[in-house]
């Protein structure tokens, strides 16, 4: 076995998998990934680092390939899913195809939110997601806190949310199309799953013109009120800025969204 493969060994043996690359560590969640071959199928083996990540695996299995990457097997902290291949939405945006990338994101979210015959797995409420913002004493986030509080007090159209939709979490699976990975799993207003799009995939994407174009496109495609969608974008940008303050990372993208909203609002 190569370096870093020790923790993967039980799952490689259980599911008869062959490693096809190096172990990768996810920067925020610290879960680990290993490209593998399951028979003729290119797959990804993920070892969850937290209970939240394990819940995400359960939700992936419940989605059953409808809007999310197909799950081949799951047990305890291990998740085996089909491996993506092909283009990325980030490269699509950087090539000047932002509208096409946004269409794909909206289509994927709609599939994830579609009704299923089986009840969804248990998941925490969206209100819990906003703890960092609600506890922040940063005066520059006061408006975002007020907006978030108002939205959370009277949610509309509650669904099981992915919780972290952005250009890096929707991948090209070839004939199966574009599908989501790495859900957080929350229960709340469906508009929230579109809010993170505005600050992604990078700071260069956050401009007043692009924000306005995305707002109109998403509202039309997802049948959302533009003002309500804009409010969720404001609340999420505040939350993201609060998270960045907690971990000392760069808040430039969510701060740019906040600046656009405060300038136009």
Question: Any idea which residues carry the catalytic annotation?
Answer: 164
Taking the chain, what is the end-to-end CA distance rounded to the nearest angstrom? 57
Distance of CA 158 to the CA centre of its chain: 17
CA distance 160 to 120: 7
Q: Which long-range contacts (CB under 8 A, 24 or more apart) does 3-9 make?
A: 4/32, 5/34, 7/32, 7/47, 8/32, 8/34, 8/45, 8/47
Q: Tokens 């509202």 correspond to what residue?
A: 219
Alpha helices by DSSP H, listed for the chain, are 9-14, 51-63, 89-94, 98-113, 126-129, 131-135, 142-153, 208-222, 226-247, 252-264
């Amino acid at each position: 076995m190569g370096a870093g493969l020790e923790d993967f060994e039980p799952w490689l043996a259980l599911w008869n998998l062959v490693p096809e690359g190096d172990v990768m560590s996810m920067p925020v969640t610290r879960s680990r990934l290993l490209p593998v071959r399951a028979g003729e199928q290119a797959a990804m083996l993920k070892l969850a680092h937290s209970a939240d990540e394990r819940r995400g695996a359960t939700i992936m299995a419940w989605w059953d390939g409808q809007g999310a990457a197909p799950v081949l097997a799951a047990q305890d902290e291990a998740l085996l899913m089909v491996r993506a291949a092909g283009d990325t939405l980030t490269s699509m945006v950087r090539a000047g195809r932002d509208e096409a990338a946004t269409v794909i994101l909206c289509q994927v979210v709609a599939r994830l939110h579609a009704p299923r015959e089986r009840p969804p797995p248990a998941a925490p409420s969206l209100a819990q997601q906003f703890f960092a913002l609600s506890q922040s004493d940063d005066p520059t986030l006061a408006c975002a806190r007020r907006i978030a509080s108002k939205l959370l007090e009277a949610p509309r159209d509650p669904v099981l949310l992915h919780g972290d939709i952005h250009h890096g979490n929707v991948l090209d699976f070839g004939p199966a199309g574009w599908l989501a990975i790495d859900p957080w799993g929350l229960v709340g207003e469906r508009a929230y799953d579109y809010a993170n799009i505005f600050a992604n995939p990078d700071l260069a994407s956050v401009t007043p013109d692009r924000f306005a174009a995305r707002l109109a496109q998403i509202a039309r495609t997802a049948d959302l009120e533009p003002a309500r969608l804009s409010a969720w974008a404001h609340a999420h940008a505040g939350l993201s800025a609060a998270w960045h303050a907690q971990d000392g990372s760069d808040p430039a993208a969510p701060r740019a969204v906040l600046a656009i909203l405060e300038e136009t609002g």
